[in-house]
Structure 1
Amino acid sequence: MSTASFWPSCLEAFRRELTPQQFNTWIRPLRLEHAGDGLVLIAPNRFVLQWVKERFVARIEELATVALGRAPRMALVVAEELVRPLAAPPATAPVAAQGGRRSEQASLNPGFTFAAFVAGKANQLARAAGLQVAEHPTSYNPLFVYGGVGLGKTHLIQAIGNHILDTSADAKIRYIHAETYVSDVVRAYQHKAFDDFKRYYRSLDLLLIDDIQFFGGKSRTQEEFFYLFNTLIEAHKQVVITCDTYPKEITGIEERLISRFGWGLTVALEPPELEMRVAILLSKAAA
């Protein structure tokens, strides 16, 4: 098989092996380029790249070896790293470009803003609380947002991060999915790099952690997050958390964490009414 026909066959293999959601989220956004006798796997952002590197790259290399009859050299890059200016860059980068890079470093989607967040009766309290935290960090600390899938939790908390980035260029911000945080804890132990792990997370000005229900049953992760949470709150650093359910209904989470989730403000994202659903659809169609 030629290298040109390898990637389509690789995609088909993953389509059979993964759920549609997994395939569409992690594999479908990837591109494969050829560089001499090697392969370059291109991810749309660092979050996807890290996830693929940890969970799927070994399988991709295995499929490549079988298809090509050899083990090719493989590199993983983020799409923006392939873009290089043709001329020397200006001494001061444009503000928009700087904002994009800061969003990338914080793992934020720059499109998730308050302006793009469709407001309605079902989410007006959560949006107001998010905007209050964005404009006055630690006014509610932590801010705990809960609701079902697809109601805008990720959009809302990333809007907080993007707003603070726009107004405080030096703010150190990190958006992270709970599963990725779990992986970071495991990796820190495996590589005996826990001091670096703690130093990084405790240096943040704003921690946005999504889907914290994934901490359920993971005692070591919960212990580390307990100490991180206390450190950030005591240092007057903002913590924003999302979950698919009300804090006291999360299964497998220690009571000492549950109680701390209630220290600030807990708000719900409710299913949208008909008018709001229409507005959301129109907003997506115009994007």
Structure 2
Amino acid sequence: MRLMTIASGSSGNCIYVGSGNTHILIDSGISRKKIADGLALAGLSMKDISAVFVTHEHIDHIKGLGVISRKDSIPIYSTKGTIRGIKECSSLGEMDESLFNEINADADVFVNDLQIHPFKVSHDANEPVAYTVKCKEKKIGIATDLGFYDDYIVDNIKGSQAMLIEANHDVNLLQVGSYPYYLKQRILSNKGHLSNETSGHLIDSLLENDVKNIFLGHLSKENNYDKLAYETVRLEIDMSDSEYRADDFDITVANRDIPSKIVEI
């Protein structure tokens, strides 16, 4: 299996996951051109994409979906609430109804040799989910846009050899920053985003011998920066009671604008 972040941040999100035979996108919150350029780095084109799985209807996760639906006619998979939100987003333009496929949290979806598992997350959207993707014994976990995590979240992601976990903001930067009070409260709420520290705690609970690659994703442009997220997560792992240390794993910050390296597991 392969994993590449094409874009990850508060300004747009798109993740590529694939096997030797099947290729999917999780979210399409950037332009179709940027997605195509990112796929080209993996030797792929939009014609190779079998499906787009959408986490939720916020624009930084669906911005390119309208153009993709019209140009490429790629099937779209998301929950009933998310589909409703997508259809209500006028900036996407007309979309072919037949492309939409309704899914439910905790019910697996199979696209050729890929097993996609949606699971519930807490975020201020209609019916948001995160995903794991499996192919045979290999597993990749993608979890961003969640206000908190619990045993349910951990149990769903556990066993992933590669993962993308949200590290959205530094609490202190957010609190002293220029955002209005209501927005700060939204981000800090149980339906907001994970802080760097909480991301570190979640990742620490997911560490196992076969974990190889960890991406830190969905960083806020205003309330975080790469080195701070990276060092904070590493510190949380190293200070924990876990037998593992940050140096045991390949930890990378997913870039807002530049596709990541292609991780193979």
Superposed pair shares fold, TM > 0.5: no
TM-score by length of 1: 0.30
Q: Whose strand proportion is higher, 1 or 2?
A: 2
TM-score by length of 2: 0.32
Q: Whose helix proportion is higher, 1 or 2?
A: 1
